[in-house]
Amino acid sequence: MKLSFLIYSYFPYGGQQRDFLRIANECTSRGHDVDVYAIRWQGDVPEELNLTRVPVKGRTRVKLYKNYTNWMTRALSNSQPTTVVGFNKMPLLDVYFAADPCFAEKAQNQRGPYYKFTSRYRHFRRYEEAVFGKASTTQALILSPQQRQTFEKHYPACSNRLHELPPGLSMDRKVEQRDLTVRQKFRNEYGVADDELLLLQIGSGFKVKGVDRSLQAIASLPEQQLNRTKFMLVGQDKSAGVDRLARKLGLSDRMSILPGRDDIPRFLAGADLLIHPAYLESAGYVLLEATVAGLPVLTTASCGYSFHIEKAHSGRVCPNPFSQAELNQNLTQMLESLGTEKWSANGLEYGKRADLFSMPQAAADSIEKFSRAG
């Protein structure tokens, strides 16, 4: 088959981008011809992909994305028939991979009353309507029950076009047990003493991942706990705001920020707890990566994969609506209980029995199915 994959921006350490590349690689491994259209691309380009850097610009994101859509409309009309698979919400799509949460839900709960009168709101709501609205025929591959609930809430007619996929963890994240040698080497490298507690947060996009919530929770720890706690943040984003808040809370000497990287399993082995209080997230692969590595997790119910933490009994989930006081309390209690709770063992066991690795194959199956249906 001939497939056209549409994505605004690719960089190596984004969750959406990793999923895109895994699915694209799975499709090419099945012999399909995959053309990729991106405005920006960072990193190596796999030989199997036919990448076109779409030559559009715009003073705002809205204008940029409109120009991209117009360019793609012309390009697709002049090409041979193809199945169009999108990784951002936009018109033109036969299949949409729902890497992002429901925009209408986010606008309703996380924006002020005047946001709906802005051009930005109108654009993104219109593009979401093009995928999930009553007039759309786009098939949507979703990642969690949470997504189904919110999309059906705002677009009731889309129900039979939502198809839930299993997670797609990389197999190198699965371990039989915690590797104490790797843990010790990691902690020695980064200057973390045996009697210190290392909190880890991983994710690009520090604001939406709730790094501010993490810092406030750490600052609330009892003095004795705080004095032996360090916080490590790994991800791709501007850090100026995080640095300012850390200074304000007196945590600068307890925090380190590292860029996105490929050796995440070492960090999961070396840390004592993953904290991930995101504001809103479709999935949250890092929750599962930590769980199957035996690292206890503290997260929020607004993460699509938070239900896996509850099923695995591998940590705690702060319910909606979010309460900073509740996050603070959970962090204190979890750090006190690390030596007695079975969160680590439960997570390792969950990684051995749950289907957490087959998303690319399932997504490719769906793309083939809907292509034939078309």
Q: What top-level class would CATH report for the domain 2-166+358-373? A: alpha beta
Burial class (CB in 10 A: 0-12, 13-18, 19+), 354: middle
Q: What is the pLDDT of residues 107-148, one digit of tens each?
A: 999 999 999 999 999 999 999 999 999 999 999 999 999 999
Q: Among residues 60, 56, 125, 58, which one has the least CA distance to residue 89?
A: 125
Section 54-83 average pLDDT: 96
Question: What's the CA gap between 276 and 46, in Å, rounded?
Answer: 31
pTM (predicted TM-score) = 0.92
Q: Among residues 184, 138, 174, 144, which one has the least CA distance to residue 157?
A: 138
Query: CATH 3.40.50.2000 occupies which residues in the chain?
Result: 2-166+358-373, 171-353
Q: What is the pLDDT of residues 150-206, one digit of tens each?
A: 999 999 999 999 999 999 998 888 899 999 999 999 999 999 999 999 999 999 999
User: Of 3.40.640.10, 3.30.930.10, 3.40.47.10, 3.40.50.2000, which CATH number belongs to 171-353?
Assistant: 3.40.50.2000
The residue with tokens 């981008």 is 17
β-pair type (9-10, 40-41): parallel
Q: What is the pLDDT of residues 262-287, one digit of tens each?
A: 999 999 999 999 999 999 999 999 99
A 10 A CB-CB count for 13 gives: 19
Per-residue exposure over 302-336, b if at least 16 CB sit within 10 Å of its own CB, e if not: bbbbbebbeebbbbbbbeeebeeeebbebbbebbe
Supply the pLDDT for residue 372: 64
pLDDT at 231 over 80: yes
